[in-house]
Amino acid sequence: MLEAIGLACTRGQRRLFGNLNFSVAPGEALWVSGPNGSGKTSLLRMLCTLLAPEEGELRWRGQPVRALGESYRAALAYLGHAVAVKDDLSGLENLRFVLAQDGRRVGEPAVVEALGRFGLTGREDLPARVLSQGQRRRVSLARLLFCADRPLWILDEPLTALDSQAIDLVRTLIAQHLGRDAVVVLTSHQDVELAGVKVRQLRMID
């Protein structure tokens, strides 16, 4: 479903990786691990077409990503390592804003419910600047509850700064998505334990 053939990436004067090959089938997760600076985030940005490969090719369902263009980007949901939350907006406003950017018309009750599932009940209207780093990340992650129709999730360190309850919820959402024959690619410094689903590990070398 997702295939990388001979990918290479150089940032500045440093070669991060070269001749990188992998394939991920429907219902599988790819856990990209490795030390900081080994190219994990660069690889994920490449999968999102935010960074062009220096060499090699990405394929989605057998077709080159470059040829698919917007139809490929419409198939994916990307959550970056940096929490994309605006300080001056509340958690409710932030989530509604990002959903609107996705072209989704979602009523306020559904947005409030999504934030509540991530343990933010009673904090929906607080400005993001007063939330903890973990709470801000939960606001960002709540978007996944509305992304069941995106067959490719690309998640950069989704478990960072979360307590055990939120980590369990994210793992559950990922496992449920894989149960729809989707593909999930994620980075994590923590072990990725997903009951009943196949997780393949790609170890990046510094």
Q: Which run of H or E residues covers position 164? A: helix 164-178
Could you tell me which residues come within 8 angstroms of residue 122 by beta carbon, excluding any fewer than 6 positions away?
none
Top-confidence range, 70-84, 137-151, 189-203: 137-151
The overall average pLDDT reported for the chain is: 93
pTM above 0.75, yes or no: yes
Residue 195 clears pLDDT 80, i.e. is over it: no
Collect all residues with Cβ–Cβ distance below 8 Å to 203 and sequence separation of at least 6.
33, 34
Do the Cβ atoms of 42 and 206 come closer than 8 Å? no
Q: What is the pLDDT of residue 83?
A: 83
